[in-house]
Every structure is written in structure tokens, then in C-alpha cells.
Amino acid sequence: MTRILAALLLPCLASPISADARQVVPVGRFSEGSLDDWSTRSFSGETRYRLVQDPERNIEVLEASASGGASGRFTEVEIDLEETPFLNWSWKVTRIFPGLDELQKNGDDFPARIYVVVKRGFLDLTSISLNYVWASSHAAASVWTSPYTDQVRLMAVDSGTEELGEWVVHKRDLRADLRRVFGEDIDRIDTVALMTDADDHGGEARSFYGDIWFSAN
């Protein structure tokens, strides 16, 4: 969404983070009961985010509940993709949005998404964003342009009801994915965000996010 990209590009102090000796950069430490450095951006209504205990994993995770609204959590963090190109996360989705046309603005809702922003240009007006989503209609591995702006690309890493209600673990070569969808080699990103949104079609969703980190392999 245009509003998503614009909101995340508001002026903010960002500090570079280097990989430690194990070449791991933690970004979301939800299992430690921490939401430090994660801020909120509201777009239309609110998604409720809270840390809860997951009985299956016996750790804390981030619960996201949306009812016809959309707000996201984001952290300003500069990641060197030459050192740590792999984005790692897990999520659990409990319902999808059947019948949506995700190519249209009124269908641009996803029960779970994790995305990154590459800041560019004067006032970041030419910045770009890649969204990894759990799609309701698009098949897994599909890639398409946001109906709001061609500066945002979406990639379905999960789709439909398969594995619904289960924890799904992902490791993506973010640098390779950025090269694939934007056709250029990008060596850093500036923002990591997540969102469960249902504002465009007025639906409901309840999803969960595990820890998020970058790694060398």
C-alpha cells in the first residue's frame, strides 16, 4: 500500500547493526518478552498486537488481531545484506480471506505479512519495499505489484488453507529475492515491519509471529 510505504519512511533515527561472531542479527525478540525498538503505525483503524504465551512452543510470541482495521509494527534497522542476507521468521495464521482479488485495492489484505524497506531518494520518495505474505488467493511463490504503488512488490510464501493453524518456519535469501523482483543487486535494507491487516475488505484475522532475525546462511 502507498500509505504503508509512506508511513514507514517518516524521518526516524536508524542505527546500523552489525552481525555478531555467529553472523546472526536479532530483529524481533518476541520470545524474550520484548517489543523494544518496535513502533506502531496506524493506517485505518487498529490491529491489536500483544505478547502471549504459545502453549505449543512454550515461549512468548506476538499475537496480531485485526477486525476491519490495519496497523503495523516496524523497527528501523540497517541490515548489511552482504554479511547477513537471510531473513528468518515463523508465523501461524488461523484464518484467511476467501474470495479476495489481491490485485485490487479492495483485496490488498493479508492475515500475515513481513516486509522490508530500502530507503532511496530525496525524502525517500523513490524507496522500495518487498512484502512476504500469506496469501488467500495467490498461489505460493507468486510475485505481483501492489495495486497501490509499483514501488511495493508482494511475494506469497504461504497460501490458502494449507498449514492453517500450524507454525510455519521460513528462511529467505532476501538479497536474492530483491534481485529477482526488482532486477538489481541491493546490499542493505533500512526497515523491517510486520502487519496483519483487514481494512480494505473489512474482515477479521488472528495471526501469530515468532522471532525475526537475519543470518549469514
Domain coordinates in residue numbering, the chain:
2-215
DSSP E strand boundaries for 81-200: 86-93, 110-118, 128-135, 143-145, 152-159, 168-173, 188-197
State the residue for C-alpha cell 541490515.
79
Instruction: Return the CATH number of the domain spanning residue range 2-215.
Output: 2.60.120.260
Separation between Cα atoms, residue 101 and residue 66, nearest integer Å: 19
Residue pLDDT, tens place only, 134-148? 999 999 999 999 999
Separation between Cα atoms, residue 122 and residue 119, nearest integer Å: 9
Separation between Cα atoms, residue 157 and residue 194, nearest integer Å: 14
List, as one string, the DSSP characters of 115-145.
EEEE--SGGGTT-EEEEEEEESSSPTT-EEE
Mean pLDDT for the stretch of residues 43-67: 95
Report whether pLDDT(15) > 60.
no
pLDDT at 208: 98
Q: Are strands 204-209 and 59-67 parallel, antiparallel or unpaired?
A: antiparallel
207 membership: H or E segment, kind and range: strand 204-209
Query: Which of 63-67, 86-90, 133-137, 200-204 has the lowest average pLDDT?
Result: 200-204
Average pLDDT along the chain:
91
pLDDT at 121: 86
Query: Hey, what amino acid is at 216?
Result: A
Cα angle: 101, vertex 104, 107; to 5 degrees: 55
Decide: 206 and 94 in contact? Cβ < 8 Å: yes
Q: Which residue has the higher pLDDT, 59 or 10?
A: 59
Residue 10 backbone dihedrals phi, psi, to 5 degrees: -65, 145
Mean pLDDT for the stretch of residues 42-50: 91
Residue pLDDT, tens place only, 62-82? 999 999 999 999 999 999 999
pLDDT at 22: 59
